């Protein structure tokens, strides 16, 4: 039999909060984390807004010297992992074999801020002034590396870099590592920090982001007729996955069980999604979980608030679930958190796990005029009480990378 895998700890860094209670309460209240960007002057940009973490002090989670040697995305990952480990009440050195504990934390873009700063130094002062920490700070795998060093995790250690599917791929791959007995514990998820001049300029050039600058809190509006693009977010979402018996032996609190994982590639276009690929991904996850489509109660949608993407995902859900699609509650929490790119799947897996654990579904806010071509139940504007048994979380990335995980309300 395949080994069962459960979630025993979660940690977030988000514009909606730095701890699970604050984060969850803000989601339930339908609060937007979007505001005018404070990090740099956006006057020449078409977009001036983002879901920025304005009050983050890395020295609350590491000493000053360590912080200076980490890019902001790594700082987010390290902070969220500390929250997750504390939430799981797990000490790797005492509670498990360090060689059976791994780390799999991804980032879609990595150390963009470090790259910007060091490139400017190169141009202004020459190559001899570039920091010796430039490469170790910038590379996307350093979140996994730093977390493993912090906790002494000597098991499988890897990083996914699959754009906006990164976090979900990281969690799904970690689930499979435990399931096939290559680890007992995995610290997994995603981290991102791209609210930077270059990052914003690139996405503005793509015309992918909302320009509703006069109403930041209403800018991210998935499935709404008046949506005009996504809103950038930043932060991290980290989960502690454990093999069931390992968790039970140490008396761990269990949020939910991971039961399915699907992956697919669109083989279609760099940036425009193909609903066939997304539907295939969901179907693979459902098959991996040993379920029928009718078993799905809730979907945390990728739901980015782009005109093409939301329509494509709606079509994909219908292809994967058939008529049952109209019976499923679907919400896009990006309406509140913004789009955290490589961290999105991690944060949204946390939300999906809390949905199962708490029996409440987070709303899709700003859904005032539902697009007729997006005709599912998107839990508009107000949180909903619901006995969710089986939940799905979708992530789709540039390049046609698709990932879906399925979580189940835990039952012994």
pLDDT in tens, 108-123: 999 999 999 999 999 9
Residue 406 in domain: no
What's the pLDDT score for residue 412? 78
Active-site residue, 188 included? no
Tens-digit pLDDT profile for residues 341-366: 999 999 999 999 999 999 999 999 99
What CA dihedral angle connects 344, 238, 192 and 260, to 10 degrees? Answer: -40
Residue 119 belongs to domain with CATH number:
3.40.47.10
pLDDT (average), residues 229-240: 98
pLDDT (average), residues 221-237: 98
Lookup result for tokens 């360090």: 98
Residue 72 in domain: yes
Calculate the average pLDDT of the chain.
96
Task: Pick the closest to residue 189 from 377, 10, 360, 24 (CA basis).
Answer: 10
Whether the CB-CB separation of 61 and 53 falls below 8 Å is answered with: no
pLDDT band at 78 (very low <50, low <70, confident <90, very high): very high
Domain containing 352 equals: 1-399
Model confidence at 274: pLDDT above 90: no
pLDDT band at 43 (very low <50, low <70, confident <90, very high): very high
Task: Pick the closest to residue 262 from 231, 224, 290, 242 (CA basis).
Answer: 290
Total of domains in the chain: 1
What's the pLDDT score for residue 400? 85
Lookup result for tokens 């870099």: 161
What's the pLDDT score for residue 272? 74
Task: Pick the closest to residue 147 from 202, 75, 210, 203 (CA basis).
Answer: 75
Residue 408 in domain: no
Model confidence at 313: pLDDT above 80: yes
Residue 411 in domain: no
What's the pLDDT score for residue 1? 73
Whole-structure pTM value: 0.96
pLDDT band at 403 (very low <50, low <70, confident <90, very high): very high
Tens-digit pLDDT profile for residues 166-193: 999 999 999 999 999 999 999 999 999 9
Residue 412 in domain: no
What's the pLDDT score for residue 268? 83
Residue 113 in domain: yes
Model confidence at 394: pLDDT above 90: yes
Residue 120 in domain: yes
Q: Which of 101, 164, 188, 281 is catalytic?
A: 164
Q: State percent of the chain over pLDDT 70.
A: 100
Model confidence at 271: pLDDT above 80: no
First to last CA, the chain: 15
Q: State percent of the chain over pLDDT 90.
A: 95
Residue 388 in domain: yes
């Amino acid at each position: 039999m395949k080994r069962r895998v459960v979630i025993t700890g979660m940690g977030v860094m988000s514009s909606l909060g730095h701890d699970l209670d604050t984060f969850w309460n803000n989601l339930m209240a339908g609060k937007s984390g979007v505001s005018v960007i404070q990090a740099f002057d956006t006057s020449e940009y078409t977009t001036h807004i983002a879901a920025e973490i304005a009050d983050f002090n890395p020295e609350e989670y590491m000493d000053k010297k360590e912080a200076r040697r980490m890019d902001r995305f790594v700082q987010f990952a390290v902070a969220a992992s500390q929250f997750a480990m504390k939430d799981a009440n797990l000490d790797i050195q005492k509670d498990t074999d360090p060689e059976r504990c791994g780390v799999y934390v991804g980032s879609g873009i990595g150390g963009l801020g470090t790259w910007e700063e060091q490139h400017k130094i190169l141009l202004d002062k020459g190559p001899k002034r570039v920091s010796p920490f430039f490469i170790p700070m910038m590379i996307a795998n350093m979140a996994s590396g730093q977390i493993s060093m912090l906790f002494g995790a000597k098991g499988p250690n890897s990083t996914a870099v699959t754009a906006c599917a990164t976090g979900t791929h990281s969690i799904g791959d970690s689930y499979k590592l435990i399931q096939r007995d290559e680890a007992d514990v995995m610290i997994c998820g995603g981290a991102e920090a791209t609210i930077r001049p270059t990052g914003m300029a690139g996405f503005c050039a793509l015309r992918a982001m909302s320009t509703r600058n006069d109403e930041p809190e209403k800018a991210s509006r998935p499935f709404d007729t008046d949506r005009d693009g996504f809103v950038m977010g930043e932060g991290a979402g980290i989960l502690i996955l454990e093999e069931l018996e390992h968790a039970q032996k140490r008396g761990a609190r269990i949020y939910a069980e991971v039961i399915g994982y699907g992956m697919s590639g669109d083989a279609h276009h760099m940036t425009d999604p193909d609903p066939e690929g997304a539907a295939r991904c969901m179907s693979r996850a459902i098959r991996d979980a040993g379920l029928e489509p009718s078993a799905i109660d809730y979907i945390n949608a990728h739901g980015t608030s782009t005109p093409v993407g939301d329509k494509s995902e709606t079509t994909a859900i219908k292809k994967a679930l058939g008529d049952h699609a109209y019976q499923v509650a679907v919400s896009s929490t990006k309406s509140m958190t913004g789009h955290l790119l490589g961290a999105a799947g991690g944060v949204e897996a946390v939300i999906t796990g809390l949905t199962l654990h708490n029996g409440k579904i987070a709303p899709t806010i700003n859904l005032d005029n539902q697009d007729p071509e997006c005709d599912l139940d998107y839990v508009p504007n107000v949180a909903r009480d619901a006995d969710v048994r089986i939940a799905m979380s979708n992530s789709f990335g540039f390049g046609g990378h698709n990932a879906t995980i399925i979580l189940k309300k835990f039952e012994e």
